[in-house]
Amino acid sequence: MAPMTVLTRDEAQARARLLDVHSYDIDLDLTRGEEQFRSTTVIRFHARTPGDTFVEVRPAALLSATLDGRPLDITSLDDNRLPLAALTPGDHELRVEADMRYSRTGEGMHRFTDPVDGETYLYTQLFLDDVQRVFAAFDQPDLKAVFSATVTAPPAWTVLGNTVATRVGPPAEGRWKLPPGRPLSTYFVAFAAGPWHTVRTEHAGIPFALHCRRSLAPHLDADADELLGLTRRCFDRFHQIFDEPYPFDSYDQAFVPEYNFGAMENPGLVVLRDEYVFRSAATDTERQTRAVTIAHEMAHMWFGDLVTLRWWDDIWLNESFAEYMGYQVLTDATHVTGPWTEFGVSRKAWGYAADQRETTHPVAPEPGAVHDTAAALLNFDGISYAKGASALRQLVAWLGEKDFLAGINTHFARHRFGNATLADFLDSLAGATERDVHAWADRWLRTTGVDTLTPRITTTDSGWELTVDHEGTRPHRIAVGLYDHDPDDPRRLTARTREEIDLPGPTGPALTGTGPRPALVLLNDGDLAYAKIRLDPDSHDTALGALSGLPDPLTRAVLWNSLRDQVRDGLLTPGAYLRATRDHLPHETDNAVVEGVLTFARDQIADVYLPADHRDDALAILRDTCHDLLRRTGQGTAPGPRLAAVRTLIDSATTDAALHDWLRAGTVPGGPALDPELRWRVLTRLAVLGAVTPDAITAELAADPSATGREGAARCRAALPDPAAKQAAWHSLYADDSLSAYLWTATAQGFWQAEQLDLTRPYRDRYHPDATALAARRGTALAKAAGNHGFPRPHIDHDTLRLGEECLSGTEPTPAFRRQLRDRLDDLRRALAVRYTQ
């Protein structure tokens, strides 16, 4: 799947000046075999002036094309562009018939056969420029049109789409009709077909439904009440805060296999990765992440679907808004507790990391900076999501929620079913407030990097004063938390007060107080700011001694994040972070904090930031921490810190005896039982340690022949410390091109192990040419996987850095692979700096 010719911003603007697109009538025949399907498209459009343009289509075979009934020369198809020359002003009808390829990489029309029961499922993923893999289109977001479709599928299948699909004709013909709905951008068109298991209900006069493949039916049914309850509460909350009612005729959520993203906001048919249908135990944080995704995608129905960006430089408007509203709506309207704690621990960490790499970019790039669709794809990162959401949270704190929502509702009213830009959005907000939102946007949205806030506490005759050293240029509204030691327990802290301040503020101290200075002065208590937070020396000592004694989990999260940032910046040794983990994490009750700290300690401290000869000691500290967590959580405790501790305990094992005992017993002492996810995790760790045979992996796969079982087996086989196993895994990754994106990722995850540096070093030297060729050959999804999961992360040395830099100096890497490789090398430089400054 070679990269397509990309659409430039200038080309899109020229075509938008020339055309008004009225409607698409799409006919798909999904009964023509396992490799291809037939696609017929009729596009009705109007040309304003005489001119030349093109329509995008990426066929296996272009069969015919007619314009106003006249045949076009199909041999003129140039890559993915069919020319439409010498258009005359007026209305036109274009008809394109083609055979299209099914995808195994989640792009276009993805085809998946469930290994459990042999049933096949299809679904589309048409973002950002993959529409042309399914039907011919003027593929840009500002040429909205009305879509209708007819789909032919095997008779036993159900067809889903943006509007409610109904059978037409005799059932044996398998014909389905999807009526026209509201105007949509091309990338929102969606189809799904297969023998879906479905749970239906209705709310506020709108049909709701959940869909999954049949082998997951018991697991979906077990969670259906929770999922539909969340959907109803989010739906009702959005109707409380938005004047515009839900703009589409149904709300289906389809959990689909081998999906590359978390979810996609197709109007009327949201698709979500079917890992969200939990077949094994899930922590509270994992359930909360699923809930956030549900709220996030529903927010898109207004911001993204109702009002759509004009060009991809404003993608942050879609994603940042949905990210912010997802967390806020869960906080306001559901039973989910502490969503902003999880946001601070995981999502903001993603944003901070992205914003400190050399590939950082503004939340809102300058007009013209995103010059084509390939460049647009590079900006789907922690900046567009987490940093943008953090900026909106600051904006709400600065404007007030009432004025913010008033501006949002004005924006929806002005641009409903149309397209809008950042300037339009800011104009709508400006009409609801006297504050200068355009100046705010320039400082928050057009700049890069992370500000740093450092407190300085001085004593005075009457008490103490706080001043803040502000490294950066953005204004911040933050809360300052003041805490004292509990007189009865010095390991506990009690809140003295919490004061809100603006930075930059008036000259002089930001805050003053009488009496003794607080034991802990915490900037950004409540985590409203997007900034790195430092501690004054006394507060630092207090935090290391009493972090777990703070009463609020969000406050504890802010402190843990501060310690993480200090490690990454070389201001706190990795060993000190591990000691804090050992001292405080066993007392932590918030699962998001437990998971975040354990993940950073295991994956970054132990494997990356510490020298290799310190790794076993670090893993021993983590095992002790996890054992202590298990002792403090009783048998039968709801999945949460206990399950997180078990997972890290497995991943940190350096001997195999206990792991074999757990497998034989089918449980960890005191619980939990080893469900499929935990069994594969144990098998993977045993494979890394060389303590499991290929026959044992095959037997486990026979017991769990599911899609995730196949991924587990691929991960285990690639992890075996055996030259033949490594060679076989490398061949499957880079030579035969038969792996789906999911199986490719699982194999790559197993391949690189910190315990196997000598065995994998020759492959480190082969990685860059092989991955570069793969990215060019198999397309964007595999390019990203190769640059991320395929990168030789355990090889933290200057030779790995040199090889990567030599690769980047050439012209061969595709944009998607080049971006991933630049980020991995940036992380490698940071790791080397941390290692050599200890």
Of 297, 319, 595, 700, the active-site residue reads 297
Number of H helices, E strands in the chain: 27, 28
DSSP 381-394: STIIIIIHHHHHHH
Alpha helices in 369-462 (DSSP H): 373-377, 388-399, 401-415, 422-430, 437-445
**Quick one: which H or E segment has residue 555?**
helix 553-568
CB 771 within 8 A of CB 817: yes
Whole-angstrom CA distances from 612 to 719, 764, 789 are: 19, 17, 21
Amino acid at 343: F
Gap between the Cα atoms of 182 and 177, Å rounded: 16
Provide the CA 750 distance to its chain's centre, in angstroms: 21
Gap between the Cα atoms of 584 and 602, Å rounded: 16
Strand-pair partners of 36: 101
Gap between the Cα atoms of 374 and 376, Å rounded: 5
Is residue 140 classed as helix, strand or coil in its secondary structure? coil
Residues 6+ apart with CB under 8 A from 400: 433
CB 752 within 8 A of CB 717: no
With both helix axes pointing from N to C terminus, report the angle between 401-415 and 388-399 in degrees, rounded to the nearest 10.
Answer: 120
Q: Which residue has the tokens 């079917």?
A: 274
Gap between the Cα atoms of 638 and 256, Å rounded: 27
Tallying the residues shown for the chain, one arrives at: 838
Concerning whether 35 is annotated as a catalytic residue, the answer is no
Longest dimension (CA), the chain: 91
CB 798 within 8 A of CB 24: no
Amino acid at 728: A
Amino acid at 57: V
Whole-angstrom CA distances from 298 to 127, 199, 242, 293, 548 are: 17, 18, 12, 9, 36
User: How many CA atoms, within 13 angstroms, populate the side-chain half-sphere of residue 245?
Assistant: 6
Gap between the Cα atoms of 37 and 56, Å rounded: 17
Q: Is the dihedral of CA 682, 685, 691, 693 positive or negative?
A: positive
Nearest partner of 792 among 819, 765, 829, 826, judged by Cα = 765
Nearest partner of 303 among 125, 422, 169, judged by Cα = 422
Active site residues: 297
